[in-house]
Structure 1
Amino acid sequence: MRCRLLAGLLGGALLLGGAVGCGIPENTGVQVDGPGPAAEVGSTSGSRGEPPSRSAAGTDAEQFVKNFLSAAAGEPDRSYQRVRQFIAPTDRDRLQVKQGSEVALAVVRLTEEPEIVYAPDRTEVTLRVQQVGQLRTDGTLAPPETSTTTYTFELRSQPGQEGRPDGGLYVANPPTALLLSVEALETYYRSRTIYFWNNDRTRLVPDQRYLPLAVPDERRVSEVVKWLTAGPSAWLRSGVRVLPDGTRLINNATRTDGRWEVDLEMPEDKARLGEFGTQLAWSLSDFDGPLDIKIRNQSQELIPDLEQRRRDIPVHKLTESPQRFCVYEGAVHPLAYAGEPTGPVPVDARANKNVVSAGLSRTDEQILAALVVTDADRHRLSVGTGTGTDPVTVFTRSAKSYATMGRPVWLRSTYRGQQPAGLVVADGSLHRFDAQAQLTPVPLGLTGVTAVAASLDGHRIAVIAGGTLYVAALSPDGAGVNFGQPRRLHTRLTNLSAVDWYGENTLVLAGAVGRPAVYEVSVDGARESPLEDKIGAQVTHLAAYPANAVGRLGAVMYEANGVAYRSGPFERIQPEQVQEVPPSNGERVGNPTAPFFLY
């Protein structure tokens, strides 16, 4: 006899990052991109954020398995004991994690509903899973340490208590790892964003962590400070600067008369203290009021109001609202929608010909333009820069032509004090390009690259290579860019074809879950939810405007089977939305393609 768990256990987990919608903010002032207040999610009835006990499911095997995959959730120092309570006493020593050692939870995604087979003397459970990562005590989700895809164990009643609802069930022959389902990660943890300065201390770079809901409010500040002093996630380390050696929290943060106090062991450096204050203000984005940073109990940096510090020093400055563009009849054209800003194409008409795809970006004083153009059935990259509001008139084409070339993207990390640079996929390899259209292969160690996207901070990229999704950190170095070791992300989507950044710690990913789909995926691959899962053909082009703290809105456009769509909900982009099309005697022909945002 076979039973199946509720389908909800397999449903895509909703992302806990900043809320995203489907429109574009109408305001045109400076927009600050940040995480905003952290959402209160998960069940907090009873003891806040505590998973169900072993006996909570009674003799219901389906519910017991679900609870077992949640047992490790919560404060790390009690994870081992919580899981032990689910294990039959005679089998508890099978757990490889021993009390007192660093606890790492194996986060898994069920690829099928758990199979539960009943027999007279026992119940056998088979879990088929995808390994997602290792949740560590510092809140990071590290890469998985095993490739195990199947777990089999038994459910038994306590001897002498068979059939008694109050006796409950136990796990016999248990997995040796502490398992945590992605649903439990969503339910019992809060996703938080903390920030580290880039290597030249000009830009804050986000880093995702998980904080158990069971952690009381008064300890949240201390936990964030500990994360910052311990350093970034391993994959991000090459792109950011860590705090000075020896920096540590001396005592837990305290709050007196509405003011938080943080006492550190740290070299006394006014400039670094000021930077740390800004770093802390953004990492505590759901806190306001004063904060006093002390060094060995001596006040050194008083922030009168955390919210004001965030306004004074924004994470990202977006001087205007984004504009939508597309390629129509071989040229870049604006797209017009009611309530959204529109403007002329910032590219001179003489260069705006034979275009396949484009990437445009704004700096404080420049417009950066990269066009993929056709040349005798081959592709070249045409790059130009302009100042002010005038269109870009001078372009340089790449010396080499390519059989295939993807959408070019600009790296915002190179906008300050560096020569502008971007990335483009050409003939299955990733290349960096500069303002002179010089393409240089990027040594990421990945083959079969088909797509690349750059984050709003410009220090992180997402890459699809060999049908697999990766993220990597980067840091400008003189005239070049240094890239960190790519980290593989595990997602339920297959046949990956396109990717872009949808928020500070979220991606929008095109692939298939049975049929072509577009999903929102967290930057560590743990959380994913469908944005559009009824697409009739593979997505060949994808562009997003990332959510930001002013409008807290994100937007997506994609192309499939030569037809372009926009979110809000997803609908076809009509030729009538295309602007600056020369008048003709007949109706417009063809479809808008390769849509993208300028911001």
Structure 2
Amino acid sequence: MRRLLAAVLGGALFTAGLTGCGIPADSDVQVDGSGPAVEGGSTNGGGSRPATRTDTNDPKEFVRNYLAAAAGEREQAYSRVMQFIAQDAKGRPSKRQSSEIALTVVRLRENPEARSNSDGTYDVTVRVQQVGVLRADGTLAPPTASETDYRFKLRPAGDGQPGLVLTELPNVLLLSDEALGSYYVEHTIYFWNSDHTRLVPDQRYLPSAVPAERRVTEVVKWLARGPSDWLAPGVTQLPDRTAPINNATGSDGRWEINLEMPGANDDQLALLATQLAWSLPELTGQLDLKIQNQNRLTVDLKQERLDNPAYPTSGSPERYCVYDGAIHPLSFVGEPSGTVPVAAAANKGVVSAALSRSGDDILAALVVTRADRKQRLMVGSGPDPVTPSNGTGWYASVGRPTWLRSLDPQHQYGLVVADNRLYRFDDLAGLKQILLPVQGPVSAVAASLDGHRIALIVDGALYVAAVSLDGGMSVGQPRRLVTRLTDVTAVDWYAENQLVFAGSELRSEGRPERSIYQTTVDGARDTALKRDIGAPVTHLSAYPGGAVGGLPTGSYMYEANRVAYRNNGFDTIKRDQVLDVTPPAAGVKASNPTVPFFLY
């Protein structure tokens, strides 16, 4: 019998379309909206197709168009690319089966540079950042290439043909991250965790021109093939040799999926039906699930999503901060504000905190300090107000803790960084170091809404990793994300498949500056949210939920230079927005609110 999940949140509002809808990538973008995830049937590119060889005679624009030529359905990718290349060109990519085609995704660091030659040819150089490899299964795997620039030679097509052709080029199928955002749909599919109590998202990319029936078939194939490599340790796969027997069909609000699924029983089919309902969020109507041509289960897709919500939240999200060493609620017009769910006796000497709802209980993890500035983690759980009384040892520095949102009240775990090492803790404050297979000091950790994915900062770089709660808690092999920012200082989950993070970037004039960016969980799309901050961001907290309460997905707050801000207008959080504090005496300067965070 499946355990029903807690209250639903929609998925992520993604701004991959920001640069494609007239908002420049370096603007201070404010993400708003409280609707559900971008549906699997929606498109960033509106079904449009990449430019052709004859669309421009400008060599720089021609190379940009070439970097989008492979975008779209794999069966035609090779032929689209070959239209740009002369028959005698050096570096012609070798032809492969569509199922074997992998595209090297690159991010242009700057505009292409072009030089015209006396013989009528052109040399074009493109400086790039390697982003990843787009596989035929829609996953973006880590990059395998190391090139930082690519060089092309072009000439007029000749023989009475219009346009240009490539005569020298890299022997690899390239795709720009801009083309990935323009001609592909970000599509989330879901896998169950080990005890089948939580759905865990997995990011994929589907050509935007693919029709509905093909989308269904592709999603079924993806689920049968299993999760992305980095996510695999945190989820379970379908039974071995599960595969579609033929393409999915649908008409008049009724869909049919026919599978080979050895040993399929009723419980497995019920779990699969929920996976399919959430992995195909744009579909409504009836789904007939067949095993070897035998109708085994019929579900109403919309009702299936209502009966088995995806994520655990309860109540409206509320904003808090630390003020003069104690947790206080924040008050903003149009938003809910609460009371402090921590007993007054324990709410002292607080440096940072993580509060989470678990049914009717509150999970509290407080970092407190003493006179010599040593810090420790205090943990507790129970009814509001909770008294964190279980403490760990003292450390030189303890980072902001994060709770894994488990559905099992008997096994509540969290993660925290202490003295540049990652530790697991439970609601009794038992601390156990987690040894990571990546080298370097750990400076921050943040958990996703599903509780089976984490983001890490190791040696100033951004990583994601899967978490398994099977028989305790373990962290899988972290995957490093390629970003424009270096010296990353803070991170949190911004939406279902989105991270918000802060670090340093070099602008075109060569000067470093502090910025806040958002990126996908695979690092594919990097979008600036706030630039010219002026100081390192030392704290960052986001609300990754959906259509609940008054806060939209994508709300975040941060601290820099001991001043706290919220993203809605990038306003400074002022003392008079902090509740339950005594105004300072005349002539005494008021303290600043610090380390703002959300409770949900």
TM-score (norm 2): 0.90
Contact 2:132/2:141, CA 8 A, preserved across alignment: yes
Contact 2:90/2:168, CA 8 A, preserved across alignment: no
Structure 1 match to 2:10: none
Which of 429, 433, 437 is matched with 1:441 structurally? 433
Q: How does 1:132-531 map to 2 (within 5 A)?
A: 132-161=131-160, 166-266=161-261, 267-303=263-299, 305-375=300-370, 376-387=372-383, 390-398=384-392, 400-413=393-406, 415-416=407-408, 418-446=410-438, 447-478=440-471, 480-514=472-506, 515-531=513-529
Q: 1:531 aligns to what SS in structure 2?
A: strand
Contact 1:189/1:211, CA 8 A, preserved across alignment: yes
Q: 2:146 aligns to what SS in structure 1?
A: coil
Q: 2:89 aligns to what SS in structure 1?
A: helix
Distance 1:307 1:294 in 2: 19
The CA deviation string for residues 134-167 of structure 1, in whole angstroms up to 9 with x for no partner, is: 0001100001111111111201123455xxxx52
Amino acid across the alignment from 1:466: D
Contact 1:325/1:332, CA 8 A, preserved across alignment: yes
Distance 2:30 2:498 in 1: 10
Amino acid across the alignment from 1:339: G
Structure 1 match to 2:74: 76
The CA deviation string for residues 373-401 of structure 1, in whole angstroms up to 9 with x for no partner, is: 112211111111112xx311251111x21
The CA deviation string for residues 289-334 of structure 1, in whole angstroms up to 9 with x for no partner, is: 111111111111101x211211111001321011111000011111
Structure 1 match to 2:9: none
When residues 12 and 103 of structure 1 are mapped into structure 2, their CA distance, relative to the original with a 3 A threshold, is farther
The CA deviation string for residues 45-96 of structure 1, in whole angstroms up to 9 with x for no partner, is: xxx4321221222x22122111100011011122122112211111276324
When residues 66 and 210 of structure 1 are mapped into structure 2, their CA distance, relative to the original with a 3 A threshold, is same
When residues 54 and 333 of structure 1 are mapped into structure 2, their CA distance, relative to the original with a 3 A threshold, is same
Amino acid across the alignment from 1:83: V
Amino acid across the alignment from 1:98: R
Q: 2:100 aligns to what SS in structure 1?
A: coil
Structure 1 match to 2:12: none
The CA deviation string for residues 158-194 of structure 1, in whole angstroms up to 9 with x for no partner, is: 3455xxxx52111122111101000000110000111
When residues 576 and 93 of structure 1 are mapped into structure 2, their CA distance, relative to the original with a 3 A threshold, is closer
Cα displacement (A) at 1:123: 0.4
Cα displacement (A) at 1:542: 0.2
Q: How does 1:46-65 map to 2 (within 5 A)?
A: 48-57=47-56, 59-65=57-63
When residues 405 and 22 of structure 1 are mapped into structure 2, their CA distance, relative to the original with a 3 A threshold, is farther
Q: 2:346 aligns to what SS in structure 1?
A: coil
Q: 1:359 aligns to what SS in structure 2?
A: strand
Distance 1:117 1:12 in 2: 30
Structure 2 match to 1:535: 533
Cα displacement (A) at 1:285: 0.6
Distance 1:362 1:125 in 2: 56
Amino acid across the alignment from 2:573: I
Q: Which moved more, 1:116-125 or 1:102-111?
A: 116-125
Cα displacement (A) at 1:42: 4.1
Amino acid across the alignment from 1:156: R
When residues 37 and 347 of structure 1 are mapped into structure 2, their CA distance, relative to the original with a 3 A threshold, is same
Q: 1:167 aligns to what SS in structure 2?
A: strand
Amino acid across the alignment from 2:562: G
Distance 1:231 1:101 in 2: 16
When residues 83 and 13 of structure 1 are mapped into structure 2, their CA distance, relative to the original with a 3 A threshold, is farther
The CA deviation string for residues 264-292 of structure 1, in whole angstroms up to 9 with x for no partner, is: 11133101101100100000011111111
Contact 2:489/2:536, CA 8 A, preserved across alignment: yes
Distance 2:502 2:32 in 1: 17
Cα displacement (A) at 1:20: 8.3
Contact 2:318/2:599, CA 8 A, preserved across alignment: yes
Distance 2:90 2:198 in 1: 48
Contact 1:36/1:549, CA 8 A, preserved across alignment: no
Amino acid across the alignment from 1:274: A
Cα displacement (A) at 1:41: 3.6
Distance 2:339 2:41 in 1: 39
Aligned-residue Cα RMSD (Å) equals 2.2
Cα displacement (A) at 1:223: 0.8
Contact 2:154/2:165, CA 8 A, preserved across alignment: yes
When residues 489 and 96 of structure 1 are mapped into structure 2, their CA distance, relative to the original with a 3 A threshold, is farther
When residues 335 and 470 of structure 1 are mapped into structure 2, their CA distance, relative to the original with a 3 A threshold, is same
The CA deviation string for residues 507-560 of structure 1, in whole angstroms up to 9 with x for no partner, is: 001112331111111111111212211312111000000141457533100000
Structure 1 match to 2:109: 111
Cα displacement (A) at 1:262: 0.5
Q: How does 1:544-559 map to 2 (within 5 A)?
A: 544-550=542-548, 553-559=553-559
Contact 2:41/2:212, CA 8 A, preserved across alignment: no
Contact 2:98/2:136, CA 8 A, preserved across alignment: no
Amino acid across the alignment from 1:323: E
Contact 1:192/1:211, CA 8 A, preserved across alignment: yes
Q: 1:278 aligns to what SS in structure 2?
A: helix
Cα displacement (A) at 1:477: 2.8
Distance 2:548 2:208 in 1: 26
Cα displacement (A) at 1:365: 2.7
When residues 435 and 155 of structure 1 are mapped into structure 2, their CA distance, relative to the original with a 3 A threshold, is same
Cα displacement (A) at 1:36: 5.0
Unaligned runs of 5+ in 2: 1-18, 507-512
Contact 1:497/1:510, CA 8 A, preserved across alignment: yes
When residues 283 and 550 of structure 1 are mapped into structure 2, their CA distance, relative to the original with a 3 A threshold, is farther
When residues 337 and 519 of structure 1 are mapped into structure 2, their CA distance, relative to the original with a 3 A threshold, is same
Distance 2:463 2:447 in 1: 12
Q: How many residues were matched structurally?
A: 566
Contact 2:45/2:181, CA 8 A, preserved across alignment: no
Q: Which moved more, 1:77-86 or 1:453-462?
A: 77-86
Cα displacement (A) at 1:565: 0.3
Distance 1:100 1:227 in 2: 16
Distance 1:256 1:101 in 2: 28
Q: Which moved more, 1:273-282 or 1:307-316?
A: 307-316
Structure 1 match to 2:590: 589
Structure 2 match to 1:29: none
Identity value in percent: 54
Please state if 1:129 is matched with 2:128: yes
Q: Which moved more, 1:483-492 or 1:527-536?
A: 527-536
Q: 1:238 aligns to what SS in structure 2?
A: helix
Unaligned runs of 5+ in 1: 1-7, 26-32
When residues 477 and 51 of structure 1 are mapped into structure 2, their CA distance, relative to the original with a 3 A threshold, is same
Cα displacement (A) at 1:43: 4.1
When residues 296 and 456 of structure 1 are mapped into structure 2, their CA distance, relative to the original with a 3 A threshold, is same
